[in-house]
Structure 1
């Protein structure tokens, strides 16, 4: 199974640098649209196989994410095997930077779960193929800001499709995860007058968010762990780990839609069909959470805040189009989104082939 998934990717690179303790994997899925772009995740994976599985899955997701966001980049992902609480050292990230440099521009990367923009200041000393650095170091800054803004646009698009209004006041949201993005999404929802159920593995973050919520009119309640799936809410907003929509949780949900920032929210493609069969609208994660990608991709052309905001707003129109396409065809929104992205990839392949055919006579004359 793993070999089959590897064969779907253009390149997979393993790295072990003993002096720094770096153990990492870079997976490049598809570069039809341009060089691969994807974040670097750090986790204490239980095995190298688990790390590889995650890298392959996330890299493929980035191909579709780049296609949906209409940026000129392909899909890739990096994972570092280690505990981010104790093993995020300068030496590891410099070694990782050398690993990225060895690919000669086929892969651009930056922060993801378990890593921080400051980590890549060290990596950037070894390679220029780093994005999302702090603004003081020439980067575009915190990518969680446009990611959270994009999720708000996705929620508004979903509300408009379901109820004919973007007004979120009085609506109930089940928010899973209060990290860099989830916290900001929660603030947006509170400012809009919404009511929230919240949960996070870190009780300290939950307590801090409850304190923040006292300044807003909406009601906020905390639940623990898997209880979040069964609360009576309008939307479920997963902003933590992936694969949270599975055979068990689908049956527990009491919501009208799922819209969140977590990557790879569906444990399997069948879970998207299960949501569809239950009448629960699903905002494909790689469309809803593409705000951060849009910012780091824009950075490579010279960061422009207004340009990023304008492109992030397009998440709204893209999602409404996907919802309409799925409804018209009687298919899941995930399948409709995949079709949308695959058509963009196909059209680019056609253009690339046409360009090569037009150039061939000149190359032959030069020879």
Structure 2
């Protein structure tokens, strides 16, 4: 009963009452809550973003003479990283060392990832170097953060160097790492290099997922290797994978860009046949692209196809339609090519 009361006080921030209850237990010789109990409370608060409340519980732990362990410190670090307070998180790391508690790879992974997310790339790499110096062995998760962070910071050469270090260290390279490498290369204008690597990995019988194929189809279109992109899309089913909404979005939008309207329409129609309903974002993208090309009738066809299917027009789509079909708009007369419910743009509804 007392444990439940103490837990409730901690969760609701009534630390004074919690201290009183713990003191009562100690005075009566009743076993007080141990570090496992407090770790549970601290972890819950940190996951909710209430890291300052968790810090107060940590102070209570110290106050009653309980010894924090690696879970206590790691939870606090995770909490501070979650709210972007990296200096506070590093302060907890220093407190760990002072308490004689050695951080493990999970602790370092949290900090490294946090630094990258906050744009502090050099700090992340310095901490990674410290981690290696202390002989804490990195994992795939560590390299996920490092490679993704470096690519997002535009440091492609650094990312490739770290990738080679990873391979040489004997760490298993899984599909998530390959996706980061391929996607990072494409993001940093190295699509041709990504395609070459993709083919090499295929020859090595690396098992890809649909995310990999999405990255590569998009890359092939970007460097105008359209036939390769189409062949890869057609080969998805043979690889045992199923295209998702993003796959279709990449292919359809690229077909529209190159003017292959009929082919794009056929692929759009095939989506629902495999149980992959187009989402609102894709439909809006398609309609805007067609309107910008002056393909009003085609845009009207798509609006008719999705009418009544919980797909709404985005503000950017509505704004474009207003500019095109208003009384002074470029396509004022063509508004009649749209379904009746969309003809209100120039008062014809």
TM-score, length-scaled by structure 1: 0.24
Bigger share in strand? 1
Bigger share in helix? 2
TM-score, length-scaled by structure 2: 0.25
